[in-house]
Amino acid sequence: MDERLERYAELCVRVGSNVQPGQEVFVQALAVEHAPLVRALTRQAYRAGASYVHVFYLDGHVRRAMIELGPDEALTYTPEWRKVATEAAAGQAVISTTGDPEPELLADLDGERVGRARMLELSEIVRRQMQERTVNWTIVASPGPGWAEQVFGEPDLERLWENVAFCMRLDEPDPVAAWREHLAELQRRASSLNELRPDALVYRGPGTNLTVGLLRDALWVSDPVRTSAGIEYVANMPTEEIFTTPDRNRADGTLRSTKPLALRGQIVRGLQLTLDGGRIVGVEADQGADVIRGELATDEGAVRLGELALVTKDSRVGRTGVTFCNTLFDENATAHIAYGMGIPEALEGVAGEEMNVSAVHTDFMVGGPELEIDALLTDGSAVPLIRDESWQLSD
């Protein structure tokens, strides 16, 4: 048995989804190639006291056939059994895997169809569960040779595993304790920004000049977050961010992505967005603009921002110097923004009617050494937050 894989799976189960004794666990694998990790997650879930582990595998080639050859209505169709299974996860634990074995499998397909291909009714069920906080869930990566080749130009799986293990703190004598210390530091950072209570954030950098308004009742938060039953979980493993949900009606200016974005089987490069009155009104990219436009056409909320996240260069992911071409990792290397669905955890204890609602939530990276981020206060003064990817507020 692979000892590293088992330690990794144990961390994902006990810190990530924080499986509770007696809970059912739903493991949702992005690809059939993730079977070794899925089996390890299943073993560790039972060791944590799971009453039953359900496993679902997806297959990128099946999705490709649907997008390429299926009728238009198939793109957004949700089978009844998927709705039933997803509804059954309420009150239980969910672990999803990422790490595309063929990151550009859909590169030659119509980008607009790729962007629209999403089970809308399923997305609505998941959105409701997140808003009601009924599931302790996590997303974790499954390294594979195809992903390694995308990152390093060769299928060096061991090199990818070494970087993933470093980001996950598996090099620590006690990874669970190391994670607790790290999460406490993120919470201190979020608290320092909440004390400031800014009205907006201002982003300045190459191709970026953007002002985003903040909601009065929204907080800056970090993992771990809690279900309505009080179960703590870490939604993203790894995580290096503090985040909030912005005012969906206040975002004006231009914004340029600083890393490639692996999105739904295509790679988007050089993404440039223009926003006016909170809406994305212009999309340009060196590659992959159509898949972005397809996503933005999903619903009314897709064209508005749902998340602002701050990450600094002391991030373990950023310290690797690797562009992972995987959002779970790249968004934890540097500051990022998401369009689409807002973050319910940022509005804990309030109604949250002002939060953006969408079936889409797509993070893209905007940070780098040249990006400056300021907090704009209600009196019009500006307080530096990030310079040279370093945190400027005292915790």
Can you give the pLDDT at residue 264?
87
The pairing of strands 200-205 and 208-214 is antiparallel
**158 and 298 co-located in one domain:** no
**159 and 181 co-located in one domain:** no
Please give the structure tokens belonging to residue 247: 């005012």
Q: Phi and psi at residue 328, in whole multiples of 5°?
A: -55, -40
Q: What CATH number corresponds to the domain at position 92?
A: 3.40.1830.10
Instruction: Name residue 212's beta-bridge partners.
Output: 201, 251
Domain end (from 167, 198, 215): 167
**347 and 222 co-located in one domain:** yes
Domain end (from 118, 139, 167): 167
**122 and 35 co-located in one domain:** yes
Chain centroid to Cα 370, Å, comes to 23
Question: Number of folded domains in the chain?
Answer: 2
Can you give the pLDDT at residue 19?
98
Can you give the pLDDT at residue 354?
84
In which domain, by residue range, is 81 found? 3-167
* Peptide bond connecting 79 to the previous residue in cis, omega within 30 degrees of 0: no
**109 and 195 co-located in one domain:** no
**334 and 380 co-located in one domain:** yes
Domain end (from 167, 188, 218): 167
**133 and 207 co-located in one domain:** no
**202 and 139 co-located in one domain:** no
**153 and 252 co-located in one domain:** no
Can you give the pLDDT at residue 395?
60
Give the global pTM: 0.93
**101 and 227 co-located in one domain:** no
**305 and 210 co-located in one domain:** yes
Per-residue pLDDT of the chain (395 residues; tens, 9 = 90+): 599 999 999 999 999 999 999 999 999 999 999 999 999 999 999 999 999 999 999 999 999 999 999 999 999 999 999 999 999 999 999 999 999 999 899 999 999 999 999 999 999 999 899 889 999 999 999 999 999 999 999 999 999 999 999 999 999 999 999 999 999 999 999 999 999 999 999 999 999 999 999 999 899 999 999 999 999 999 999 999 999 999 999 999 999 999 999 998 899 999 999 999 999 999 999 999 999 999 999 999 999 999 999 999 999 999 999 999 999 999 999 999 999 999 988 987 665 678 999 999 999 999 999 999 999 999 999 999 999 999 999 76
Query: Where do the DSSP E strands lie in the chain?
Result: 24-29, 52-57, 93-98, 136-141, 200-205, 208-214, 225-226, 232-233, 242-244, 246-256, 261-263, 266-268, 272-276, 279-284, 305-310, 336-340, 361-365, 372-376, 382-387, 390-391
**117 and 142 co-located in one domain:** yes
